[in-house]
Amino acid sequence: MAVVLTTSRAFPDCEQAQKILTDAGHELKMVTPQKPLKSSELVPMVKGIGAMLAGLDEINADVIQAAAPTLKIIARNGVGYDKVDLKMAREKNIRVTITPGANSLSVCELAFSFITGLSRRIHLMDKSVREKSWQRVSGIELHGKTIGILGTGAIGRHLAVRCRSFGMRVIAYDLHPSQELIEDHGVKYISNLDEIYRQADFISLHLPANPDTWHMINRDTIAKMKPGAFIINTARGELIDDDALYEALNNHYLGGAGLDAFASEPFLDERFFELDNVIMTPHTGAFTKEAADKTLIIAAEEIVRALSGEDNLYQIN
C-alpha cells in the first residue's frame, strides 16, 4: 500500500478515479487548493507519499527532494509538464506521466468559443444589456476569414476541423504536419511563422512553453500581424510578452485577445482589466466534467501501474 497525494480540485468529485486507487489498496491524501500549489506549500505535504496526482502545481527540485525517499510517480492530470523538474525526477528515478488527448476537446471548444465570442463582441453586448444601455456592437463573420493555428497536436487538430466547418481558411504551423488535416480538411501548412502572422485574421496558440517558444508573440511579431487580428491563447502564458500584447490591444492595433493561460497565475495585471477587447478565463480550458474525469482516470491508472512495477503508457521521462 502507498499514500497517494492528490492536488486536483476535481479529484474529490471523480469517484471512478478514487475507486481505481483504493481498489488497488492505496490510501488517498486529498488536497483541494483553489489555485496551483507553490513548492513551499507542497514540501511539507509530500513526505512519505508514494505517488502524486498533480495539477499545475510547482513541483521543483525542493519538492522532489523532500518526496524522493518514497515517491515513485508524479502523474499529471493534463499534458503540460513544464512545472515539473524532469531532470531531478529522472535523477531520483521518479516517473512522470501525462494524460494526452483526454482534455483536448474541452480546450479546443474553449478556444473556439473565444473566436466566436470575440468576433461578435458578445462580452460587450452582454454588458450593455445588464447596464440597460442596449448598445449593439458590430461584429464580423467567420466565414472566409483565415485562422493560423500554431501547433496541430490533438487540440489544434480539433480546432482546425471546427474552423473549417464554419467556412474558415485554415493555415497551420507544426514541425510534424498532419496528413489527415491536409488531405481531408484542406489545411495548408506554412513553415514560415512570419507568413502566418501576415495572413491570419485569428492566431490560436497550441504550443508548449520552452526556450524556442518563450515570448514568441512579442512587439516584433505583432507588428507583422494584420491590423485588427485576434490572438487566442489556451496553451501557456509564457508564449506571450504581456507588455507587447497590452500595448497592441490598448492602441487597438489588434482586434482582441482570448486568454486562458498566463505566465503568472492568478493573473493580477490590472492593465488588462480595463480593456474592452480582451476576454480572460482562469486557466479553465480543461475544466469540464468530461475532461476532468478522463484525465483523472488515466492518471489514476498510471499510478497503479507504476506502484505495481508495470510499465507506464504515457511516461515522458
CATH of the domain at 172: 3.40.50.720
Record the pTM.
Answer: 0.84
pLDDT of 78 reads 85
Whether omega for the bond prior to residue 266 falls within 30 degrees of 0, making it cis, is yes
pLDDT of 82 reads 86
Coil vs helix vs strand at 215: coil
Identify whether the C-beta of residue 57 lies closer than 8 Å to the C-beta of residue 7.
Answer: yes
How many other C-beta atoms lie within 10 A of the C-beta of residue 140? 15
Residues 111 and 172 occupy one common structural domain: yes
Looking at the domain assignment, is residue 57 inside a domain?
Answer: yes
Instruction: Kindly report the length of the chain.
Output: 317
Residues 98 and 133 occupy one common structural domain: no
Chain Cα centroid distance, residue 222: 22
pLDDT of 286 reads 87
Query: Per-residue confidence of the chain (317 residues) as pLDDT tens digits?
Result: 899 999 998 999 999 999 999 999 999 999 998 889 999 999 999 999 999 999 889 999 999 999 999 999 999 988 888 899 999 999 999 999 999 989 999 999 999 999 999 999 999 999 999 999 999 999 999 999 999 999 999 999 999 999 999 999 999 999 999 999 999 999 999 999 999 999 999 999 999 999 999 999 999 999 999 999 999 999 999 999 999 999 999 999 999 999 999 999 999 999 999 999 999 999 999 889 999 999 999 999 999 999 999 999 999 99
Tell me the chain's radius of gyration from C-alpha atoms. 21
Separation in Å, CA 229 to CA 85, 257, 267, 285:
36, 9, 23, 22
Residues 25 and 147 occupy one common structural domain: no
Residues 251 and 164 occupy one common structural domain: yes
Residues 59 and 15 occupy one common structural domain: yes
- Any idea which residue has 445588464 for its cell? 130
pLDDT of 79 reads 82
Coil vs helix vs strand at 74: strand
Name 93's Cβ contacts closer than 8 Å, sequence gap at least 6: none
Looking at the domain assignment, is residue 75 inside a domain?
Answer: yes
Looking at the domain assignment, is residue 198 inside a domain?
Answer: yes
Amino acid in the structure at residue 307: L
- Give CA–CA dist 54/67, Å, rounded: 14
Identify whether the C-beta of residue 217 lies closer than 8 Å to the C-beta of residue 205.
Answer: yes
> Which residue segment(s) compose the domain that 221 sits in?
104-280
Coil vs helix vs strand at 4: strand
Tally of structural domains, the chain: 2
The residues annotated as belonging to the active site are 236, 265, 283
- Give CA–CA dist 153/74, Å, rounded: 23
